[in-house]
Amino acid sequence: MSDRLNTDALDTQRAWTVGGSLVLLVVVLDAGAGGFLPDGGLVRALLLAAALVVFAVGVRGSGSVTALRPTGTIALCALATTLVVSWVVNATLLPMGGRLDAVVVVGQVILVLQFALALIAVERIGRLAVVPRPWNWAPAIAFGVIALLFAATAIASVMSRQMLEVFGYVAVTVNGIASVAALVVLGVLAIVLGDRAGRSSSPEAPTPEVDVERD
């Protein structure tokens, strides 16, 4: 029993450390490291997608932030897929002479799908509480802030030119800063919680609380 607990704790530590490190690599890429890579956009999408998959499935079943429940796990993996699909759409349709309005429509559909999948995923992460409380709601809070700022940016896009020049620039800038800050916080938090999970591998240590509700 003790060996099993130790193995689960170490696998959880590996999963959250790897996932958090991948998220922080995305931040580094956004900060300018993409200039040294053949295609920063594709690398960014792959890194973030890999992080989501690691958080979803864990290592040998341990460390899954959704407790491997179908709804949350599928939502995270599907969200990871849309990140790569979005890059493929932008990288193939426009260079091949695809109509700009068609590309915009496809991009908007993917964006709406991403928001829906992210909403499902953060709700499951919060409710299942595999991540220690109160940090289980950190992804939901980050998502909520980004969603509100994105809505503000969308509102700014339909304002008059004078208002757009002032408010629109501020909204886009704040949205970008908030997105980077959210990635940094979630990445660091995952690594810290992973380290804590690795330290609490004794049989007497408390195990993560998981809701028993059906998925």
Q: Which two tokens stand for residue 179?
A: 């997105």
Where is pLDDT greater, at 204 or 94?
94
pLDDT at 94: 63
Task: Check residue 119 and give left, alpha or beta (phi > 0: left; psi -120 to 50: alpha).
Answer: alpha
pLDDT at 35: 46
Where is pLDDT greater, at 152 or 53?
53
Provide mean pLDDT across the span 133-156. 85
Residues 6+ apart with CB under 8 A from 101: none
| Residue written as token pair 């864990």 | 58
**Could you tell me the pLDDT band of residue 212, with boundaries at 50, 70 and 90?**
very low
pLDDT at 116: 94
For 18, 28, 70, 101, 185, the CA distances from 23, given in Å and listed in that order, are 9, 9, 23, 32, 10
Residue 206: is its pLDDT beyond 50?
Answer: no
Average pLDDT of the chain, as a whole number: 80
Phi/psi of residue 210, nearest 5 degrees: -125, 125
C-alpha closest to that of 19 among 46, 44, 53, 42: 53
pLDDT at 60: 85
C-alpha closest to that of 197 among 47, 25, 48, 19: 19
pLDDT, tens digit, 9 for 90 and up, residues 90-141: 777 665 555 666 777 888 888 899 999 999 999 999 999 899 999 999 999 9
Residue 68: is its pLDDT beyond 90?
Answer: yes
pLDDT, tens digit, 9 for 90 and up, residues 12-36: 889 999 999 999 999 888 776 544 5
Task: Check residue 99 and give left, alpha or beta (phi > 0: left; psi -120 to 50: alpha).
Answer: beta
pLDDT at 76: 95
C-alpha closest to that of 86 among 103, 64, 110: 110
One DSSP character per residue, 74-138 reads: HHHHHHHHHHHHHHHHHHHTTTTT--HHHHHHHHHHHHHHHHHHHHHHHHHHHHH--SPTTGGGH
One DSSP character per residue, 145-179 reads: HHHHHHHHHHHHTTS-HHHIIIIIHHHHHHHHHHH
Number of residues in the chain: 215
